[in-house]
């Protein structure tokens, strides 16, 4: 049973849960895939510790910070950090985005190659960062923020996702309010992308 007026549809395919913008079918479905596609390529051939996000959180030698990603989105940055050894807790308040992340995580956890370390290092907390940042324990060394502002230099894929996301969740009007609680929570640093 679905609402024909709603331009967004959450669809369970045989492979995964995906979000579709029904008034723009050419965009295709958006889903979280930590096992295959671009994330597999990034895991195998990406910069690893040399990736910008890894450098930004301060990974050096044996130092692998505990990170809270307060703006998880589709979990790409969190996954990169987990793949190089950080323990990452993702916060996501939008129930649809949280469902996509949960679906991707469950498939990732079940994967024989990445499942064992993914279960140890990457976790989803379905909560608003504005409230969760005040009571997360243990405190992370790093809080990572990537607010959903329209970035100019993004790939076509990310632009497609941004369009769908913005029509789903609306503008990220309270992103500015995350900085202070993030500063209070992080024991080492706050990273803003």
pLDDT in tens, the chain (193 residues): 556 678 889 999 999 999 998 888 888 899 999 999 888 888 888 888 888 999 999 999 999 999 999 989 899 999 999 999 999 999 998 999 999 999 999 999 999 999 999 999 999 999 988 889 998 999 999 999 987 655 555 566 667 777 777 777 776 667 778 999 999 999 999 999 8
Q: Is residue 23 part of a domain?
A: no
Q: Is residue 149 part of a domain?
A: yes
Tokens 């994330």: give the residue: 39
Q: Which of 172, 192, 173, 174 is nearest to 182 (CA)?
A: 192
Q: Is residue 147 part of a domain?
A: yes
Q: What is the pTM of this model?
A: 0.89
Task: Specify the pLDDT at position 157.
Answer: 65
Task: Give the total number of structural domains in the chain.
Answer: 1
Instruction: Work out the number of other CB atoms within 10 angstroms of the CB of residue 141.
Output: 19
Q: Is residue 109 part of a domain?
A: yes
Tokens 């990169």: give the residue: 80
Structural domain range at position 66? 32-192
The span from the CA of 96 to the CA of 98, in Å, is 5
Q: Is residue 75 part of a domain?
A: yes
List Cα–Cα distances, 103 to 7, 40, 191, in angstroms: 22, 17, 27
Q: Are 54 and 47 in contact (CB under 8 A)?
A: yes
Question: In this structure, what DSSP letter does residue 190 have?
Answer: E
Q: Is residue 126 part of a domain?
A: yes
Which are the contacts of 41, defined by CB distance < 8 A and separation ≥ 6?
A: none
Q: Which CATH number is 130's domain given?
A: 3.40.50.150
Task: Specify the pLDDT at position 171.
Answer: 66
Q: Is residue 9 part of a domain?
A: no
Q: Is residue 73 part of a domain?
A: yes
């Amino acid at each position: 049973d679905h609402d024909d007026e709603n331009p967004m549809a959450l669809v369970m395919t045989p492979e995964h849960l995906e979000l579709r913008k029904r008034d723009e079918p050419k965009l295709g479905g958006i889903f979280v895939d930590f096992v295959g596609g671009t994330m597999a390529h990034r895991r195998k051939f990406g910069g690893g510790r040399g990736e910008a996000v890894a450098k930004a959180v301060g990974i050096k030698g044996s130092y692998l910070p505990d990170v809270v990603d307060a703006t998880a989105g589709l979990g790409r940055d969190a996954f990169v950090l987990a793949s190089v050894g950080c323990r990452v807790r993702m916060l996501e308040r939008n129930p649809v985005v949280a469902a996509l992340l949960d679906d991707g995580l469950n498939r990732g956890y079940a994967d024989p190659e990445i499942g064992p370390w993914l279960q140890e290092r990457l976790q989803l907390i379905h909560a608003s960062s504005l409230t969760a940042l005040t009571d997360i324990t243990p405190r992370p060394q790093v809080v990572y923020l990537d607010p959903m502002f329209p970035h100019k230099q993004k790939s076509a894929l990310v632009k497609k996702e941004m369009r769908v996301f913005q029509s789903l969740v609306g503008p990220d009007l309270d992103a500015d309010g995350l900085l202070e609680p993030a500063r209070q929570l992080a024991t080492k640093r706050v990273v803003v992308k």
